[in-house]
Amino acid sequence: MKNELAVPRPGSFDAAELKVEALALVAALDDDHEIDELVGAWEELRPWDAHLKELGRQGKDTTPMLSAIRWAEVRIGDELPHDARLSDTATSLSHPQRTQFRRLSAYRDAVKVELAKAVEKKNPKLASRRHLLKILDELNPVDATLPDVGDESGDGWEMLFGDMRERLFDLPDESVDLIFTDPPYPKKYLPLYRDLAEHAARLLKPRGFLVTYAGVIFLPEVFDHLKREELSYGWTFSLLLDEGSQSRIMGRHVIQGWKPLIVASKGQWTSGEWMNDPIRHARQKDKYGWQQDAAVAAAVIERFSRPNGVVLDPFMGSGTTGEAAVAVGRQVIGVEADDNRFSLSVKRLIG
Ligand SMILES: C[S@@+](CC[C@H](N)C(=O)[O-])C[C@H]1O[C@@H](n2cnc3c(N)ncnc32)[C@H](O)[C@@H]1O
């Protein structure tokens, strides 16, 4: 595919001009680009390496251009397909590069902060990939003993590797009591809520529940995607975030202190134990940046399924639902498309 990102050519040694071009490139990378286009831009940026070293030796500030290269890697990580199938362009990246780019993308906020620091302090070391990955390791260490990727199962649990849109067809109709899940929130993933609802309509037993996290900002779209004849809206719990988890929503100037948990039932809502609304939601990020609170998962699973019932999480992430479901005596099936997180989930389920 034609590379439409305007990548500055090495040869311009004017540091001020280079800075403007590099910052424009960082902004352009955030627009809607296909993976092939991003990889193309990144490959065009690679010859800069030698020139940047030379510029650095001349005492010129290279951090804006280094940040542009790093940001291209974050964006490639964003766009890499979530299953094992890759386009020809994406396979031109080595496996370690793909893993590193995914990792940079999963922790883009931390990367952004560090790159801003690099530009401000004019310190190229802070914009090096090695430095950023070291920081992410400290934030969220990857266990070198993780098992290889492939479907896995154990006592009362099963993990399916791949894209939930396809893998869920492997499960029989009306075989699940509760779907408890947490799809990715960014706008481009919103259609996954429609896939989730379609599968839920087929997989849930009559009177089964679908309980899902959602981002506040796209709630109207989420409700729209979840709408199906077979599913009735039930409730929206409010998960109260502790202070360490509150975030500033830049487009709204709101300090967010809660997040929604939406409940729908297949057919009639079955009453059970009384449950408080709101629910306290603690920060737990020792395994993964998007990890959720296992105690909340356990309480919801207990309320919305019966002992030994089947709980499904099609977006298992680091395995919070799996761990919680097993702890409260449910059978659990998980799907995860990212190899690192899949392995984390398996490890957590093995215990
Ligand atoms: C918000 S995270 C879930 C975090 C999880 N609740 C935890 O506590 O770790 C969403 C997960 O869905 C996965 N995912 C995204 N698209 C997917 C797809 N089409 N099929 C399966 N998994 C997918 C992502 O790789 C990510 O790990």
Q: What domains lie within the chain, and their CATH numbers?
A: 15-139 (no CATH), 152-350 (3.40.50.150)
Q: Which of 169, 287, 341 to mutate to test the pocket of ligand 1 (most atoms within 8 A of CB)?
A: 341
Q: How far apart are CA 102 and CA 86, in angstroms?
A: 13
pLDDT, residue 150, reads: 80
**pTM (predicted TM-score):** 0.64
Proportion of the chain in helix, strand, coil states, percent, rounded to 5? 45, 20, 35
Expressed in angstroms and rounded, the spacing between residue 315 Cα and the centre of ligand 1 is 4
Pocket of ligand 1 (CB under 6 A): 82, 163-165, 182-184, 192, 288, 290-292, 315, 317-318, 320, 335-338, 341
pLDDT, residue 139, reads: 74
Residue 100, helix vs strand vs coil: helix
Helix axes 63-79, 95-106, angle to 10 degrees: 100
User: Looking at the predicted structure, is the pLDDT value of residue 340 above 50?
Assistant: yes
Expressed in angstroms and rounded, the spacing between residue 108 Cα and the centre of ligand 1 is 16
Q: Hey, which residues does 231 pair with through a beta bridge?
A: 228, 266
Mean pLDDT of 125-136: 89
Residue 63, helix vs strand vs coil: helix
Which atom belonging to ligand 1 lies closest to the Cα atom of 163?
Answer: 20
pLDDT confidence bin for 186, thresholds 50/70/90: confident
The tokens for 21 are: 């071009």
Selected residue with higher pLDDT from 84 and 74: 74
- From the number of C-beta atoms within 10 Å of its C-beta (0-12, 13-18, 19+), residue 252 rates as exposed
The tokens for 127 are: 């914009």
pLDDT, residue 84, reads: 46
